[in-house]
Structure 1
Amino acid sequence: MNNATISVSEFILQCAIESKQKTITICVLAFIYCLSMFGNLLVIVIIILNPQLHVPMYICISTLAVIDLANGSILIPKMLSVLLLSSPVVPYAACVLQIFLFLHVEEMESFLLAFMAFDRYVAVIYPLQYPSVITNKTIAIAVLVLNMFAIIFNLQIPIFVSELSFCRTNILPFCFCDYATMVHVSCSEDPKYLIPITSGLVVYGVFPQAFTLLSYGRIAIKALRISSAGGKSKVFSTCATHLLVVGLFYGPLSLFYLLPGAGVTITRETYNVMFILGNAVPSMMNPIIYSFRNKEINKSIRKLFTRKRLTL
């Protein structure tokens, strides 16, 4: 426990889950991962195969499905290997890569949800201008720009990690590689290493979430002024679907970051479970929500499987 710096070439993930609950956790994770992969791939295939769905809103939904596929693949397979195969060792470069990729897809989802709120805002508030403002080209440019911005913003992560020195341990007390945890276990006390955490929460958490809620708030006010019951119901139904997805994404993650900051003491096991549920469950639920609540996707799925049964 001295202050001598040790050379770290790998990290050890200490997945704090009781042995009695490991089997259940493994089964739940495997189920979530398989359902998430199947559901999101199905949504992507349905949108690609149906030319009528090659419009901005469905391109956003398919992009969200791609992000959810990446999100689950970045986290769950390694968690399963830690729990099932007892292989907690992660090479240094792989750990940094997981942190970078995870932050990237989380930030992309946050921005995409804000952009989808903007899409609905323009569609409801300025319906005549919608076809000229929101186009497939606009979506493609937005996704490209947001990706580039997120990559540039996250370049500070590997730079800061390379500067961290470790003098006590290379054990990360969670089922995943986490930048904040890495800073905590290091012997580097410079406050600058916390900048990516605070700035990321503001840029990718607070601003997009506030923008999303303001957009839907404005839509709700507009919907209440619609005299037609059918029109009002259609607007609320569409917004309810998006808000459910938004709530699933921001709700658990907000608790994950806010509870420790508020001084609430939670066990490592609870922290692990919160993180797993906060990231894995939305990736699984998003395609289910859109499959059941979106009539066009629902109809396309039924057509696809009906056609398969008929050909058989």
Structure 2
Amino acid sequence: MSSINQSSVSEFLLLGLSRQPQQKQLLFLLFLIMYLATVLGNLLIILAISTDSRLHTPMYFFLSNLSFVDVCFSSTTVPKVLTNYILGNQAISFSGCLTQLYFFCVFGDMDNFVLAMMAYDRFVAICNPLHYTTKMTHQFCALLVVGSWVVANLNCLLHTLLMAQLSFCGDNIIPHFFCDVTPLLKLSCSDTHLNELMIFTEGAVIMVTPFVCILISYLHITYAVLRVSSTGQRWKAFSTCGSHLAVVFLFYGTIIAVYFNPSSSHSAGRDMAAAMMYTVVTPMLNPFIYSLRNRDMKGALRKVLTMVFPSKQ
């Protein structure tokens, strides 16, 4: 018999970011604005890339995948937060909590993988420009994305199944705005050493390996750019890399702070603040950081906006 049936907890209560009515109204408005900006911004990016043949390149292929993942990533948590604020109901079922945990993990892993793919694409483009078309083929790019989806789903299925084997026989209050691994482990009355071991080993490999690949790619990029004699070209390359690296460090920094510290060092306030950064803020900023500074992307977006909102003659 599954250990799920042994749990006396049929639902959890998500406390959210605040219990004060006035603050809840402000947080609802803030979450709503950021979520709409995330969805609209990233969908515009996907539409612009799909309709402009000039953008059918590996770099924009990865960017469209990142935009899709970011929409799904935010949609895993934010709609539930908004619903809770509207209905005043903080409950989430046990199965719903595990489902949210699974998809949150999948899209988080995919964000991680796509960032690494984008770094590798820039590495090949800057360090091996003559071999770019032969290395970054459509088949290879598609294989990277499909393989990442497979790995992400297998990884998150493992952690979700391990969580499902735990018993929850006491407190069911989660001091968070979504079902996350750390607060759930704290509520369990079972031995959680295996879960924590898998987070620090297998989970660490999944998260750290792409991060290391990104760092290595940018070390090679930096060395190649420093050898360029043109100051203008050098500054342009560093500017592009700086934007990408800013998001990379923001994304990885908050995740490492939350998931790869001893459980005794966690505080609910800090974890929620960090989680809000990589689940809501970063996906909202990605379209601006990666696209609005790009001339080709700006042109494609103008065409899409002209199609959607044609000017009256």
User: Does TM, scored on the shorter chain, surpass 0.5?
Assistant: yes
**1:137 to partner: Cα distance:** 1.6
The residue number in structure 1 matching 2:169 is 167
Is the Cα contact below 8 Å between 1:180 and 1:194 reproduced in 2? no
Structure 2 residue 28 is the aligned partner of structure 1 residue 26: yes
**1:306 to partner: Cα distance:** 4.3
SS at 1:90 equivalent: strand
The residue number in structure 2 matching 1:282 is 282
Q: Distance in 1 between matches of 2:264 and 2:170?
A: 25
What aligned pairs does 1:253-264 form with structure 2 within 5 A after superposition? 253-257=255-259, 261=262
Is the Cα contact below 8 Å between 1:10 and 1:89 reproduced in 2? yes
Q: Give the alignment partner of residue 153 of structure 2, picking from 140, 151, 154.
A: 151
CA RMSD of aligned residues (A): 2.1
Q: Distance in 1 between matches of 2:280 and 2:266?
A: 23
Q: TM-score, structure 1 length as denominator?
A: 0.90
The residue number in structure 2 matching 1:129 is 131
Q: Distance in 1 between matches of 2:300 and 2:17?
A: 43
Is the Cα contact below 8 Å between 2:182 and 2:259 reproduced in 1? no
Distance 1:81 1:98, change over 3 A: same
**1:262 to partner: Cα distance:** 9.0
Is the Cα contact below 8 Å between 1:50 and 1:300 reproduced in 2? yes
The residue number in structure 1 matching 2:47 is 45
Amino acid in structure 2 at the alignment position of 1:166: F
Q: Give the alignment partner of residue 59 of structure 1, picking from 47, 58, 61.
A: 61
- In the alignment, structure 1 segments of 5+ residues that lack a partner are none
Distance 1:263 1:91, change over 3 A: closer
The residue number in structure 1 matching 2:3 is none
Q: Distance in 1 between matches of 2:235 and 2:274?
A: 34
My pick for the range that moved more, 42-51 or 232-241, is 232-241
SS at 2:197 equivalent: helix
Q: Distance in 1 between matches of 2:137 and 2:154?
A: 26
**1:180 to partner: Cα distance:** 2.5
**1:169 to partner: Cα distance:** 2.0
Q: Distance in 1 between matches of 2:7 and 2:37?
A: 42
**1:193 to partner: Cα distance:** 2.0
The residue number in structure 2 matching 1:11 is 12
Is the Cα contact below 8 Å between 1:180 and 1:197 reproduced in 2? no
Is the Cα contact below 8 Å between 2:185 and 2:192 reproduced in 1? no
Is the Cα contact below 8 Å between 2:116 and 2:214 reproduced in 1? yes
Is the Cα contact below 8 Å between 2:9 and 2:170 reproduced in 1? no
Q: Distance in 2 between matches of 1:264 and 1:187?
A: 19
- In the alignment, structure 2 segments of 5+ residues that lack a partner are 1-5
Structure 2 residue 298 is the aligned partner of structure 1 residue 298: yes
Amino acid in structure 1 at the alignment position of 2:40: F
My pick for the range that moved more, 6-15 or 111-120, is 6-15
Is the Cα contact below 8 Å between 1:55 and 1:135 reproduced in 2? no
Deviations 1:193-246 (A, max 9, x none): 213321354123222112212211210111011112233233223322322332
Deviations 1:84-126 (A, max 9, x none): 3221111111111110100111111111111111111111111
Amino acid in structure 1 at the alignment position of 2:225: A
Deviations 1:7-32 (A, max 9, x none): 22222212251404222211110110
Q: Distance in 1 between matches of 2:161 and 2:243?
A: 39
Q: Distance in 1 between matches of 2:57 and 2:239?
A: 19
What aligned pairs does 1:209-224 form with structure 2 within 5 A after superposition? 209-224=211-226
Distance 1:302 1:168, change over 3 A: same
Structure 2 residue 170 is the aligned partner of structure 1 residue 181: no
Q: Distance in 1 between matches of 2:312 and 2:291?
A: 23
**1:265 to partner: Cα distance:** 6.3
Number of equivalenced pairs? 306
SS at 2:18 equivalent: coil
Distance 1:6 1:153, change over 3 A: closer
Q: Distance in 2 between matches of 1:257 and 1:152?
A: 19
Q: Distance in 1 between matches of 2:33 and 2:94?
A: 29
SS at 2:130 equivalent: coil
Q: Distance in 1 between matches of 2:266 and 2:156?
A: 29
SS at 2:129 equivalent: coil
